[in-house]
């Protein structure tokens, strides 16, 4: 499901609004994922404190959103933009790609919470498609 010009425009417009709060959004999304989908904790056991407000969770949430920001900038070539990150996830972190969908859902949920007026169904579908394409690009190097 490739991104139309309309999708790209919608994602860029929402990101322009969300960018200022991106660390908060990322922290919230990651924190929620670890609570609502406890199986994802298996990838972070070395962190110790996995509660939503813990320092490591907040920091990593911010890291993830910064990378998403890069993806928005490179939206015309996600595979290229995310190539190094794909290698990292495939060979070092070895996160099962099924989890990209889970995190994606939590990011969407938090975006909806923070920007309820902007997160219309139209924008929702474009963001979801974008995150799906990001997940696809991230999975590129897996096999």
Partner 1 sequence: MVKWTEEERCIIRGVWEKVDIDEVGAQLWARALIVYPWIERYFGSFGDTFTTTAILNNPKLAALGKIVLAALDTAVKNMDNVKGAYASLSRVHYEKIKVDPEHFRLLAECITISIACKLKAELSPQVQSTWQKFLSAVVDSMRSQYK
Could you list the residues that contact partner 1 (CB under 8 A)? 38-40, 42-43, 45, 90, 94-99, 142-143
User: Tokens 């996160």 sit at which residue?
Assistant: 95
Which residue's CB is nearer to partner 1, number 35 or number 62? 35
Rounded to 10 deg, the angle between the 55-73 and 22-36 helix axes is 120
Three-state secondary structure readout of the chain? CCCCHHHHHHHHHHHHHHHHHHHHHHHHHHHHHHHHCHHHHHHCHHHCCCCCCCHHHHHHHHHHHHHHHHHHHCCCCHHHHCHHHHHHHHHHHCCCCHHHHHHHHHHHHHHHHHCCCCCCHHHHHHHHHHHHHHHHHHHCCCC
Instruction: Using the minimum distance from each CB to partner 1, give the nearer residue, 4 or 39.
Output: 39
Closest approach of partner 1 to the CB of residue 46, in Å: 10
Q: How far is the CB of 94 from partner 1 (least distance, A)?
A: 4
Q: Which is nearer to partner 1, 48 or 143 (CB)?
A: 143
CB of 113 to partner 1, least distance (A): 24
Nearer to partner 1, 6 or 41 (CB): 41
Least distance between partner 1 and beta carbon 91 (Å): 9
């Amino acid at each position: 499901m490739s991104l139309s010009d309309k999708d790209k425009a919608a994602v860029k417009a929402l990101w322009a609004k969300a960018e200022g709060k991106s660390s908060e959004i990322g922290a919230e999304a990651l924190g929620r994922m670890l609570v609502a989908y406890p199986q994802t904790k298996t990838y972070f056991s070395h962190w110790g404190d996995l509660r939503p407000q813990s320092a490591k969770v907040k920091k990593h949430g911010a890291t993830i959103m910064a990378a998403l920001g890069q993806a928005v900038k490179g939206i015309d070539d996600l595979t290229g933009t995310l190539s190094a990150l794909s290698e990292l996830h495939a060979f070092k972190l070895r996160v099962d790609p099924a989890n990209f969908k889970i995190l994606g859902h939590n990011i969407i949920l938090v975006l909806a919470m923070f920007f309820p007026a902007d997160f219309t169904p139209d924008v929702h579908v474009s963001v979801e498609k974008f995150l799906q394409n990001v997940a696809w690009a991230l999975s590129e190097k897996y096999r």
